[in-house]
Amino acid sequence: MEFRQISAAERTATMFPLQTYAFSPSPWSPADEEAYRGRMRFFETTVNLIAEESGQTLAGVAALRMRENVRGLVHDMAGVASVSTHPSARRRGLVRELMQRLLRQMREEGCAVSALYPFRPSFYAKFGFVGIPRHRIATFAPEGLAHLVRAELPGEVERLPMSEAFEDYDEVIQHQLARRHGFAVFDEVRAAELRDMKSWVAVARSGGEVVGAVRYVIEAHGGDLVAQDLHCTGPLGRALLLQFFARHVDQVARVSVRLSTDDVPELWGVDFEVTVEGRVDNPTDNAPMVRVLDMEALSGSQAGPGEVTVEIAGDELIGGVWQLSSSGGVLGVEKGGTPSATLSAAGFSALLYGVLDPVEVFTRGLGEFSPEAIPTLTEMFPRQMPYLFADF
C-alpha cells in the first residue's frame, strides 16, 4: 500500500470515482466527471492524500485550507473533506492511516484546529473530534414582518447577483471571522468558487458601510425564498435584511433562512409566526465537529481567570501535560506540571470551543477531574456556542 499526496489535477483520476460513488447518485456520466475537473482550480491549495495499491486508488482524504476564530484568536484551520474508501477496501484501516497522516501534516503546516462535517460522529470521535452546534433554519411568511415594510431605517439594501456582490459579501464574512467565536472561512482559492454561484445577494449598507449580506434564491412565484446564513455586523444590518424579506409579501409564501443557535427569531416581531428547526441526521445532516491540533498555538485566546494543569491522554498531536493559566482575560499555555484533570483530545476541544462544561465532559466519558479543577475550568472556559458557518 502506498500513501501519497496528490495535486488538485490528479483528483479527477483518483478521488473523483471514490467521492462520487460515496456521496452522489451513481453511476456517473462523463459530463459529471468533466464538471468535477472544471472545479479543480478551486482545490489548488487543498491538501489531498490517497492510498493506492497496484496503481488503483483505494481511499482518499483532503484538508481545505481555512481560518477559524476560536475564542478570539483566528487560527489556520484544516477543513477535512472528501473522506472516502472504495467499498471493497473498507474496514482495512485505510482512512485511519490517511486521517492520522493528514492531521499530522496540517498541524506541521501551521493549522492549530480542524473541523469537519461527519457522516457519523462516533467515527470521527476516534480521531479526537467533538460535536458543535448545527445551524438552525427559521421559516416564516413574509407577512409576519409587516411592521418592517415601511419602517424608516438608516440604510438601504441592494439586490445583486453573486458575481457582482462577491467583494461586499466577503467583507461581511471577514468582519465576522474577526469577531465571532467558531466562525470559519475558506482561503481565497476555495472561496472563489462562490463567485460563480447562481444566487442573489441582498447587501445592506448604512453610511456607506456594508452592514449585512445574505445569499438567497427564489424557488417559485408564490413559493419559497430560500436564504443561506444571515450575515450582519449588528442589529441594523439584520433589520435591513429582514425588511428586505418583508417586502417579498405577495411574491413568496415563505422565507427560510439559516441561523446560528444564538439567533432568536421569535423576537423579530409581535404575533410573528416562525418555525425554527435544527435537524440532525446520519449520514446527511450532521452537526459539525472540531478538534485542537496544536496546544501552544492557543496562547492568547480569551479565557476566564484561573490556573490549572491538565493531562491530555492518548493523542499524538496534543497529548501531554499542559499548564493553563489566565489573567487579564488572556490564556497562557505551557508544558509540564502536576495535572488535576485528565482529558481526551475531544474533551479538551469541547471545553475550548465552549460546547460542554467539565461535568458534561465527565458524563460523556471524555475526561476526569479532581473536585477543585471543575470550577476552575468552568470559569476559564465558559460556555460559548460556536457558529462555524462554512459548509464543506
Ligand X SMILES: CC(C)(COP(=O)(O)OP(=O)(O)OC[C@H]1O[C@@H](n2cnc3c(N)ncnc32)[C@H](O)[C@@H]1OP(=O)(O)O)[C@@H](O)C(=O)NCCC(=O)NCCS
**Which residues lie near ligand X (CB under 6 A)?**
22, 59, 83-85, 90-96, 118-120, 122-123, 126, 283
Measured from the CB atom, the residue of 316 and 372 that comes closer to ligand X is: 316
Asked if residues 278 and 132 have their Cβ atoms less than 8 Å apart, the reply is: no
Q: In 294-357, which ranges are continuous DSSP H helix?
A: 345-353
Q: How far is the CB of 361 from ligand X (least distance, A)?
A: 21
Measured from the CB atom, the residue of 84 and 206 that comes closer to ligand X is: 84
Measured from the CB atom, the residue of 28 and 123 that comes closer to ligand X is: 123
Q: How far is the CB of 15 from ligand X (least distance, A)?
A: 11
| 114 membership: H or E segment, kind and range | strand 111-116
Q: How far is the CB of 260 from ligand X (least distance, A)?
A: 22
Environment class of 106 (CB within 10 Å of its CB; exposed 0-12, middle 13-18, buried 19+):
buried
Q: How far is the CB of 46 from ligand X (least distance, A)?
A: 15
Measured from the CB atom, the residue of 84 and 228 that comes closer to ligand X is: 84
In whole angstroms, give the CA distance from residue 82 to residue 62.
Answer: 6
In whole angstroms, give the CA distance from residue 26 to residue 51.
Answer: 22
Asked if residues 127 and 317 have their Cβ atoms less than 8 Å apart, the reply is: no
Measured from the CB atom, the residue of 103 and 172 that comes closer to ligand X is: 103
* Angular region, 271: left φ>0, alpha ψ -120 to 50, beta rest: left
Measured from the CB atom, the residue of 77 and 95 that comes closer to ligand X is: 95
In whole angstroms, give the CA distance from residue 160 to residue 144.
Answer: 25
In whole angstroms, give the CA distance from residue 31 to residue 259.
Answer: 35
Which residue is it, cell 482575560?
A: 329
Task: Give the Å distances, CA to CA, from 197 to 79, 162, 200, 308.
Answer: 21, 6, 9, 48
Q: How far is the CB of 114 from ligand X (least distance, A)?
A: 13
Amino acid at 31: A
Q: How far is the CB of 324 from ligand X (least distance, A)?
A: 29
Measured from the CB atom, the residue of 138 and 366 that comes closer to ligand X is: 366
Asked if residues 236 and 224 have their Cβ atoms less than 8 Å apart, the reply is: no
Q: How far is the CB of 254 from ligand X (least distance, A)?
A: 31
